[in-house]
Amino acid sequence: MNHVSLSRCAAAAAFFLGSAFAQAEPGSGPVTLVRHGTAPIHTGADDGGQPYGVWAVGDGYKVGFAGGLQFVPYTGRGDGPSPAWRWRTASARVGALELVTAEPNLRYGDWRAEYDLGAVVEAYDVRADGVEQTFVLREPPRAAGDLVIRGAVESLLSARPVANGVEYADANGVPRVHYGAAVAVDARGDRQVMSTTVVDGGIELRLDGGWLATAAFPLVVDPLVAPLTVTTGTPIDEVAVAHDPLGSKNLWFAEVRYVGADADLLLWRADADGDNPVLVSTDVSASWSSIEPALGVNRPGASTILAWTRDILAGGERYVRLHVHDRADLGFDATVLYLSVPGGRNCWRPTVGHELSPVSFTSSLVAFQVEGTGGFANLSVSEIHAAVIACGGNGSIVTTFPVAAGVGIDHERPSLAKVDVGPTREWTVAYQRYTMMAGGFEWDIGLRRIDQANVVGAEYLIPDGGIDQHEMAPVLAGTDDRLLLFCTASDGPDTIAKPNGRNGHRILGTRIDWNGAAFTTPHGTKVLQQNADPRLELGGADLDLTTRSHWALSFRSNVTQNVYLRVYGYTASELWRDDVDAPTTGLGTSIGGGVCYLGDEGDFAVAYGIDDPGVGSYGRLRRHFFGAPSSYHFGFGCTTTEIDWFGPRWIGSEFAGVEFSGAPANSFTFALVALAPASLQLYGFGGVHDGCWLYVPLSGPDYVMMTSPIVGTDGAWPLPLTEWLDSDLLYFQGVTFDANVGEFFSTNRLIVPIAK
């Protein structure tokens, strides 16, 4: 197949100036991901010698039931100690008769937890807006007098009576928990307001004895415990996003919510535009923090893998844990796979590969960083390991193995590319590495291939041009043999000797190809963004699997807190930019999120977080979708040859061009390329069939070129649309020489809108 470059027409000074058509709107405004949902009451296995507990989740809070009620509103990472609010029923009396005669015995279903206390049952119903607490007296008490229920409350929050109950506020006076005024309801439905009073060490509920004496039993006492905050939404600290091309609710969104030092992980499924979310899994124990979420889709296994790090609070260890969720399962499932490496070493910073081939393996790869044993520490000789995860059902761990390790070398922050080639596959993993020997003393980016037998290939270092520069925090996007590596970078003199963070002065982009034996960088490394200070932090990146030529990248500034989205073409040159979002207050912060390709050409989504104190805290989604008018034909051809455009019309596409078919036997065909149309019917031109039309100019400023001829009935001319082109119309006409009659014949005109 002949290759034609449009750069051959660069001498035309007016090449592609302006736009000959109205370009489609390239993006949408930020959409708040309204994540209203509850997780049922559930438990889990111990980890690191610590119990999971018994937990449920509502809007803006979690609630635990092991050892009494523990109500925890999500307030954010930087808002001081946990505002947990604990209740234990100390007594329930009618006159001198004590109704609490037994140790609390917990039993629970999906949405209701009960403690049998003897003559009274303490129950909690999980609702989206809070936990409804009830006390049920099954039979009339054998004593007269007021019913008095006393609850012992433990909390760092301060109580203050309000008109409809009791508010508990933090040290800044911000109300965090509301305990509603109690009401008694008897079996006839008659209601009686009770007094709800703050007492030393807790709350007292009192019901008039006269009303109690005439009540029908069973009798229910009914307050509501609910989260309060002066902001709206829920503070989030980390975000991951993935798109499954099949099934319903195929946008997967993982978020980390903080309350004090305790981090919880929630996994949602939503429509591709972020609407109609469903909470399908959580990891919300108070015994550990669940951080660093990563998502990967396995198409043949009909599953999505969630990987994260558990930071065990008591012992300080860190372990990578996994959840495999079936594509067809829209229900809640909190099952966990426990990943370990020999010696019980600490693991963290997981990354999950996507397996997108419909005819390949029902397993995926997870890579992660490994440290030493005991209390967690980021060592100076960290390693990269990987695990094969079998999908289907709740999944299983097939094997684990080392990927990058060596004496005197630090390996950190792995990033996995996708695979989609079919019955065979090779993974590519990137990581940052630091050599503590002569010639080292800076972070570089390394690459390795891992084949289907889990054999790890030799290391390839991304060229850095000999600059004394740290390259850090790689984000690898693409599939199989076609990749784009993003990383942050800082000059050695501009920063500390060995930075521990992921922020840098610059963002670099390197297009990488695998030729079957080695990595190549056909377009070198480009500086995509730079600043005078190290404010740049990468989010996520993904490849457009339709064009296979366009990558989207999200990043943020830790100074301005702006979130950005950029789109790059096949040489890693910028095509499109969007300043996605920013907090509206000077105290606000942003959370750099992930990027995923949504399945249609040019349709990317960036998921991120905005936390605006006093205004709101949101998980948000911003979409970029490209659109250009279709190509079309004009006029009449005097030959059986037909021409058409193949591939995308999006500038930055490498795999596009003009093709022809239906040419006569014993003929050759070439194409004329122009920037404007012509219209001339041909008569009396030697060798040209009379009556044919010339629909594009053969000379002048609008003429671009003539392609090389192709012999045969069909063929194609690849025309990569390099990123420096502007939106415009391209005009083509095919010309066929039919050796059977010794004349040239022409096709109709092909008009192709190209856009960026």
Q: What is the mean pLDDT of residues 68-75?
A: 91
Domain extents in the chain: 6-24+628-754, 61-227, 233-617
Task: Name the residue with tokens 């630090």.
Answer: 410
pLDDT at 7: 38
- Return mean pLDDT, the chain: 90
CA-to-CA distance for 424 and 516, rounded, in angstroms? 13
pLDDT at 13: 23
Minimum mean pLDDT range among 30-39, 46-55, 473-482, 587-596? 30-39
Quote the tokens at residue 292: 């660093």
Would the pLDDT of 18 be above 50? no
Would the pLDDT of 231 be above 70? no
Confidence of residue 678 (pLDDT cuts 50, 70, 90): very high
Q: Would you say 169 and 254 are in contact if contact means Cβ atoms under 8 Å apart?
A: no
Minimum mean pLDDT range among 32-36, 523-527, 530-534, 699-703? 32-36
Would the pLDDT of 386 be above 80? yes
Q: Would you say 604 and 598 are in contact if contact means Cβ atoms under 8 Å apart?
A: yes
Minimum mean pLDDT range among 234-238, 290-294, 444-448, 451-455? 234-238
CA-to-CA distance for 94 and 145, rounded, in angstroms? 5
pLDDT at 32: 63
Higher-pLDDT residue of 233 and 506 is 506
Confidence of residue 20 (pLDDT cuts 50, 70, 90): very low
Q: What is the mean pLDDT of residues 698-721?
A: 96
Would the pLDDT of 76 be above 90? no
Would the pLDDT of 708 be above 80? yes
pLDDT at 205: 95
Q: Residue 624 in 3-state DSSP?
A: strand
Minimum mean pLDDT range among 382-386, 487-491, 743-747? 487-491
Per residue in 452-496, pLDDT (tens digit) is: 999 999 999 998 766 678 999 999 999 999 999 999 999 866 667
pLDDT at 293: 97
Minimum mean pLDDT range among 76-80, 164-168, 218-222, 326-330? 76-80
pLDDT at 78: 63
> What letter would DSSP give residue 665?
S
Would the pLDDT of 57 be above 80? yes
Percent of the chain at pLDDT > 90 equals 76
Q: What is the mean pLDDT of residues 728-734?
A: 97
Would the pLDDT of 675 be above 80? yes
Would the pLDDT of 230 be above 50? no
Q: Does domain 233-617 have CATH number 2.120.10.10?
A: yes
CA atoms within 13 A on the CB side of 461: 14
Residues ≥6 apart with Cβ < 8 Å to 304: 242, 244, 252, 295, 296, 297, 298, 324, 325, 327
Would the pLDDT of 147 be above 90? yes
pLDDT at 9: 35
CA dihedral 130, 593, 267, 236 (to 10 degrees): -20
Q: Please tell me the class of the 6-24+628-754 domain.
A: mainly beta
Q: What is the mean pLDDT of residues 101-107?
A: 93
Q: Would you say 333 and 351 are in contact if contact means Cβ atoms under 8 Å apart?
A: no
pLDDT at 2: 46
Quote the tokens at residue 257: 């919510």
Would the pLDDT of 22 be above 60? no
Task: Name the residue with tokens 């005109």.
Answer: 749
Residues ≥6 apart with Cβ < 8 Å to 456: 401, 402, 403, 404, 448, 449, 450
For residue 553, give the nearest of 526, 515, 533 by alpha carbon: 526
Would the pLDDT of 195 be above 90? yes
Tell whether pTM > 0.95: no
